[in-house]
Amino acid sequence: MEALKVENLKKSYGKFTVLKEISFSLNFGEVLAVLGPNASGKTTLIKCILGHALPEGGKIYVKGLDTSLEGEYRNYLGYMPQEPDFPENLTPEDLLNLITSIKCRKPIYAEKIVEIFKLSPYLNRKIKNFSGGTKQKVNALLAFAFDPEVLILDEPTVGLDPLSNIRFKELIKEEKRKNKAILLTSHIIGEVEELADRVIFLLEGVVKVSGSVEELKEKTGETKLERAILKFLEK
């Protein structure tokens, strides 16, 4: 069973079509990178997967569940937004407790994430006093704490210091080894090359490039992923 399957997904805002019947899948034990310039449809795609936006056409399945019919699929997802919008009068501990009450599940992985990102001193401090980097670590805590089977990570290393960046990438690799399915967006091609098994490149709402990292490099004779993608786009 595929972790995530998108079939002929179409989404418009007014007369502007953002997603033009795109299709792809994500398997368990795999990292899929969704790349593309600004306004290519990446954010809209994530919103549709999460149920934050309703597509006009197509289907999305999470673990075989039709997301237009089933609400249960959200229990399998962990989401790390690019720009977290936390209630700043709350603490990370407050947020964990709030999400626990909503999900009716324990944050069984929270202690591990707190340890990885050295968050213990911040758990009972109000988020409004945090730096951008610390907020991003809290963002990671909330995404991973409930040990979701499918992770949606939108530019997850933005704002992280170099050491935390390394720790985060090691965390992604560990989750992959645990057979998690991970959808990742990033503007950092080196990061994608290190982490991703497969890549899709969106341009104007269409999948222009799709394939494994090694396959794309082999087909173009390039040693760098960014050069390989550029060659495909120039065809």
Residue spans of the domains in the chain: they are 30-234
* pLDDT at residue number 132: 93
The pLDDT tens digits for 207-224 are: 999 999 999 999 999 999
30-234 in CATH: which number? Answer: 3.40.50.300
Assign 3-class secondary structure to the chain. CCCEEEEEEEEEECCEEEEEEEEEEECCCEEEEEECCCCCCHHHHHHHHHCCCCCCEEEEEECCEECCCCCHHHHHEEEECCCCCCCCCCCHHHHHHHHHHHHCCCCCCHHHHHHHCCCHHHCCCCHHHCCHHHHHHHHHHHHHCCCCCEEEEECCCCCCCHHHHHHHHHHHHHHHHCCCEEEEECCCHHHHHHHCCEEEEEECCEEEEEEEHHHHHHHHCCCCHHHHHHHHHHC
Mean pLDDT across the stretch 5-10? 98
Structure confidence by residue, pLDDT tens digits, 108-122: 999 999 999 999 999
Give 51-73 pLDDT, tens digit per residue. Answer: 999 999 999 999 999 999 988 89
pLDDT of residue 156: 95
pLDDT at 235 over 80: no
In the chain, the percentage of residues whose pLDDT exceeds 90 is: 87
